[in-house]
Structure 1
Amino acid sequence: MKKKLLALAVAAALPMVSQAATADVTIYGKVHTSIDFVNPDARGEDSIYDVTSRASRLGFKGSEDLGDGLKLIWKMETTYNTAEGGFGSGRNTYIGLAGGWGTFLYGRHDTPMKMSTGKLDIFVDEMADYNATAGLVDIRANDAIAYVSPSFSGLTLVGAVVPDADYDGTGDFGGAYSIAAMYSNGGLFLAAAWEQLDDLLNGADADHWRIGGGFDMGAFHIGAVYADQNLMPLLGDDSKNYTVNGSWAFGNNKLKAMWGRVDWDNSDATDAWAIGLDHNFSKRTKMYVQYADSEHGLQSTNPSGDQTGVSFGMVHKF
């Protein structure tokens, strides 16, 4: 009797296993949480002690072979607050088609501008992220319609249009246009991008462009990004933004440093710098400590004025 029940259970499970294998669904994510101390230098404000969830996420992605070299692709990804619990804002979530001609997708996605220099931010999602320290503005847009070309001898072109998009919850604008070109060959990486934002706030238009480059030579990396941001409706002032960074890998460790500057058109410039040390326990797990000093600010809740900070974090990818 027991053998018959076991046989029935196995037979019932086989269709589900077959269906899951055919669907090609991957569950993935990242747990990234830091312990932070931020000191608002000489401004008479209290120091900030916090446990921070830094873009921790949970995602599902998959594809289906449609034949003749055509493939359906999809992704659903959202943040999860590992410091306080609960799901947060949606990340890249889309459906599309891919083939030898490139990739077409639509949904919520990073704009080509954001994609163009993402790999040049060696402190990405950390306290010294170049968005916080160098003031670079990146957009993950709702309602995006995007195309990514195949690689032409290392050159990839990306374009997106965003009709009636919502810009990070701050207001509606009639549309956005974003284009980027990225070149990768050996250890060399180059990127250029331009983005136009219509009716950003109170009917005003805005645009920005940036260029970036990086070079990897064995254990050493150096990278730089320059941006011209005509985003006065959003930032209150136009700016020119610079950041330079470098790293040295030795054993399971990586020493990294950055410098950033924001030249505001109608006010003084602000500078930032940071140094950090990563220790990789494995390909999926690392621990880091870093020190950052920024006149622009380090906390999204108070993004202006002098701040220094120390951050200890752990990251695990699955």
Structure 2
Amino acid sequence: MENMFKRSILGAAVATAAMASMSVSAYEIGQNNDFSVEVYGVAAISIVNYDGDKTDKATGAKTDTYTGYDYENESRIGFRAGKEMFENVEVFMQVESGYVGEDGTGATLGNRDTFIGLGGDWGKVRFGRMLTPMYEVIDWPYANPGLGASWDWGGDVKFNRDRHGDMARYDSPAFGDFTFNLATGRGDKAVDGNNFYGGAAHYRLADMVTFHAAFETETDRKVEDAKDATDGSWSYNPDGTQKEWTAPSDAVAAQYADTFGYLVGFEASLPAGFGLAGAWKSGESDVKGGAKSEQDSYVIIGQYWNGPWGVKVGYTENFESEVAGVKQDDEDSVVSGQLMYVHNGFVPYLRVAQRDIKDDKAQTETFVVRVGIEYGF
């Protein structure tokens, strides 16, 4: 739903009141103008139950983890505005809040895509905080339904950003069935030489299949903070007797890496309401003065729609990462299914997923059930 505003109603009311009281000066909040302003957002909440256990790799001991239910409020709001500055040059901006979450602390304006840009029939260029071209494809169409714990952010080798500030991004117009995106920016502005570059290309074939390809590379990304030297120390039992000795350690310098990752994938609209999508991504992180880490992942998603009813199933897997060519026994996977119903803009849904996530110390298996509703405006 689009809303057109003249800024500011409150300012006009204050000015009118001041004139009516014969004040010698009138005060106006904001300025009347002819910018087009849109308020948009998503109302989204779900109740989710986690039932899982963690197995210690060294001892084989199992413990319950992530057990219980939670309400997850992903509602958010945003504002867009734009106006033609010159012929074929429009100035536009966007400010979007984060998810409401538990207590609103993450819902600050500017938490999600927030930028100012220029656009025309030559494309658009934006500056600010937004998705990188590669992560935009990772997140959609390949993370839904509920595959993000492995596909989006569960990898053990970090080779791409997601939503990030200090970025300049160009999005091309359509050249027939082909479009592309380019971006560059600072990774950590406190680190000299930490810059990233990325791009994506999209080609639609015969109105049935869209192919995606993306890459991202970064120099001098900090992968581990510096650590100060420590003295040796004892820990103690409740009765005051010595329990365990921690040896002293030398200071450790921060570690930096050059990273590179890529993705290739497709999404296809098939007859009779069926659809299929899949992607492969791979990346590496080469620590300066250290070892190179590598990891591959893939995802496959199928869906079926019959009128307002939709079913979506997906599977993703991170293969074992390798450090200096040695496998790390840290593969993980998620299998998920979702039933949806669309009516008058509302989307109630039921999602179930099985997560099998490994790290260097433990394997965590979690069964997830989520029931929610979303409405975009």
- 1:275 has 2:294 as partner: no
Secondary structure class of the residue paired with 1:80: coil
2:365 aligns with 306
> What are the Cα deviations for residues 273-314 of structure 1, in whole angstroms up to 9, with x where unaligned?
11110111222x1111111012128xxxxx962221111111
**2:145–2:338 Cα contact (<8 Å) kept:** no
> For residues 41 and 121 of structure 2, what CA distance do their matches in structure 1 show?
28
> What are the Cα deviations for residues 27-86 of structure 1, in whole angstroms up to 9, with x where unaligned?
1111222111112235412413211123x3211011101232211111111113154334
TM value normalised by structure 2: 0.70
2:274 aligns with 220
- 1:242 has 2:298 as partner: yes
Secondary structure class of the residue paired with 2:301: strand
1:300 aligns with none
Secondary structure class of the residue paired with 2:78: strand
> For residues 203 and 138 of structure 2, what CA distance do their matches in structure 1 show?
11
1:53 aligns with 73
Secondary structure class of the residue paired with 1:91: coil
**1:127–1:311 Cα contact (<8 Å) kept:** no
What is the root-mean-square deviation of aligned Cα atoms in Å?
Answer: 3.2
1:182 to 194, 198, 202: 202
- 1:85 has 2:97 as partner: no
- 1:123 has 2:176 as partner: no
Secondary structure class of the residue paired with 1:295: strand
Q: Match of 1:206, as an amino acid?
A: T
Higher helix share: 1
Q: Match of 1:278, as an amino acid?
A: M
> What are the Cα deviations for residues 75-111 of structure 1, in whole angstroms up to 9, with x where unaligned?
1111131543344361111111001111111101111
2:42 to 27, 30, 35: 30
> For residues 290 and 133 of structure 1, what CA distance do their matches in structure 2 show?
19
> What are the Cα deviations for residues 209-244 of structure 1, in whole angstroms up to 9, with x where unaligned?
1111000135211000110021477xx953100000
* Residues 207 and 128 of structure 1: CA distance in aligned 2, closer, same or farther (over 3 Å): closer
- 1:254 has 2:313 as partner: no
| Equivalences for residues 85-124 of structure 1 within 5 A | 85-88=104-107, 90-121=111-142, 123=144
1:39 aligns with 51
1:147 aligns with 170
**1:179–1:193 Cα contact (<8 Å) kept:** yes
Residue ranges of structure 1 left out of the alignment (5+ in a row): 1-7, 298-302
> For residues 96 and 264 of structure 2, what CA distance do their matches in structure 1 show?
28
* Residues 32 and 133 of structure 1: CA distance in aligned 2, closer, same or farther (over 3 Å): farther
2:180 aligns with 157
* Residues 98 and 162 of structure 1: CA distance in aligned 2, closer, same or farther (over 3 Å): same
> For residues 192 and 282 of structure 2, what CA distance do their matches in structure 1 show?
23
**1:33–1:83 Cα contact (<8 Å) kept:** no
Larger Rg: 2
My pick for the range that moved more, 258-267 or 130-139, is 130-139
Alignment length (residue pairs): 295
TM value normalised by structure 1: 0.82
> What are the Cα deviations for residues 154-182 of structure 1, in whole angstroms up to 9, with x where unaligned?
11111111135469xxx997110111111
2:319 aligns with 263
Q: Match of 1:179, as an amino acid?
A: G
Percent of paired sites with the same residue: 22
